[in-house]
Amino acid sequence: MMEAKRLELVERIQNLKKEKRAIILAHNYQRPEVQDVADYVGDSIELSRRAMAEEEARIIVFSAVDFMAQTAAILNPNKKVLIPSLGARCPMAQMLPAENVKFWKRKHPNTPVVLYVNTLAEAKAECDICCTSANALKIVSSLNADTILFGPDHNLAWYVQQKTGKKIISIPERGFCPTHLLFLKEDILLLKEEYANATVAVHPECTPDVQSTADFIGSTSQICRFAKESPAEKLIIGTEVGILHRLKTENPSKDFIPVYNGAICPNMKRNTLELIYLALKEERYPINVPDNVADRARRSLDKMFEIT
Ligand code: 13P
Ligand code: SF4
């Protein structure tokens, strides 16, 4: 985008924010210019917490994907939550419809159901408790059961099973994130040869093979924190490349090497500066979750917050 156009949009966005008592929350994968205009940039659980903490705000522009904006709307029934692009939909969240959760519950009665926040509200309403990649181990460990139904990410389920020693039944059997599936163990091994002493940090949505190469596995913000605190000067990063903007801004003296430059989540990138401006101006697109669904989904989210 041309610099003059960007500056003009940023100014209009700032004016509208003041005028409408609005804030902008952006996920770590958002476009650099979107991260720069946001009041807060974070991972999925941080953004939800932040949305709840912003008591003065009337409008929250949630620059991320559908399930994250829905979560904010469920937790903030008195605020208007807007998503700049209706096309920003997480394909993983579509892999586990509520009907599917009910099917697995019938198949395994009396087994607790933990759902990753990367699910739609109707599915959340059917589970016992939610989790994010930042707290999945804590949530599953807290449950008084040896077998857990867990979905929709099969790779996160594998990670949780390894770390907690509990039997995890993946629902669906092989839910996945198409973007994190692009990372290959072979590519990481080659990069490790090329960049001696580099530290590897990956997201738990990566395959078990890729996870096995990592020095650190965590949520997007946990990766950012690790990068800051680690003495490593070179870090190989196995998550969506949008995170590199924040990593480089916060650690200008360190080198960040993406495992694969093409690991772009097209859904996350649907939100542009122009669409954020229009979201504020026209108060579009509001997220509406029917009360009966929102109330039940909120219960599963609140249980997660109680434990974390
Ligand atoms: P985080 O909670 O780690 O930000 O992950 C959300 C996500 O969609 C990763 O692909
Ligand atoms: Fe969904 Fe993957 Fe995009 Fe995250 S990176 S929003 S899990 S498709």
Q: Could you report the per-residue pLDDT of 6-39, keeping only the tens digit for each?
A: 999 999 999 999 999 999 999 999 999 999 999 9
pLDDT tens string 270-289: 999 999 999 999 999 999 99
Answer whether 44 contacts ligand 1 (Cβ < 6 A).
yes
- Cα–Cα separations (whole angstroms), residue 54 to 20, 72, 76, 158, 240: 14, 11, 10, 35, 27
Q: Separation of 91 CA from ligand 2 center, angstroms?
A: 7
Cα–Cα distance measured from residue 76 to residue 62, given in angstroms and rounded to the nearest whole number: 12
Domain 3-89+268-290, architecture per CATH: 3-Layer(aba) Sandwich (3.40)
Name every residue whose Cβ is closer than 8 Å to that of residue 24 and which is 6 or more positions away in sequence: 13, 17, 37, 38, 39, 40, 60, 61, 63, 276
At residue 289, the 3 state secondary structure works out as: coil
> What is the pLDDT, as a whole number, of residue 2?
86
- Beta strand residue intervals within 69-127, DSSP E: 80-82, 113-116
Task: Please check whether the two domains, 3-89+268-290 and 180-258, share a CATH topology.
Answer: yes
> What is the pLDDT, as a whole number, of residue 202?
98
Q: Separation of 15 CA from ligand 1 center, angstroms?
A: 30
Q: Which candidate, 62, 64, 117, 94, places its Cα nearest to that of 178?
A: 94
Q: What is the pTM of this model?
A: 0.97
Does the structure show a pLDDT above 80 at 234? yes
Cα–Cα distance measured from residue 217 to residue 22, given in angstroms and rounded to the nearest whole number: 34
Q: Whose CA is nearest to atom 1 of ligand 2?
A: 90
Residue type at 177?
C
Mean local confidence (pLDDT), 219-232: 98
- CATH for 92-177 (3.40.605.10, 3.40.50.10800, 1.10.10.1800, 3.40.50.150): 3.40.50.10800
Best mutation site among 83, 118, 156 for ligand 2 pocket (most ligand atoms within 8 Å of CB): 118
Specify the ligand 2 atom closest to the Cα of 92: 1
First to last CA, the chain: 40
> What is the pLDDT, as a whole number, of residue 285?
98
Q: Which residues line ligand 2 (CB under 6 A)?
A: 65, 90-92, 118, 177-180, 205, 240, 265, 267-268
Specify the ligand 2 atom closest to the Cα of 67: 6
> What is the pLDDT, as a whole number, of residue 156?
98
Ligand nearest to the CA of 270: 2
Best mutation site among 268, 269, 270, 271 for ligand 2 pocket (most ligand atoms within 8 Å of CB): 268
Q: Within 10 A of 191 (CB to CB), how many other CB atoms are there?
A: 19
- Cα–Cα separations (whole angstroms), residue 101 to 105, 166, 238, 306, 308: 6, 20, 30, 23, 24
Class of domain 180-258: alpha beta
Answer whether 177 contacts ligand 1 (Cβ < 6 A).
yes
Does the structure show a pLDDT above 80 at 1? no
Residue ranges per domain, the chain? 3-89+268-290, 92-177, 180-258
- Cα–Cα separations (whole angstroms), residue 143 to 40, 103, 137, 219, 304: 32, 21, 10, 21, 11
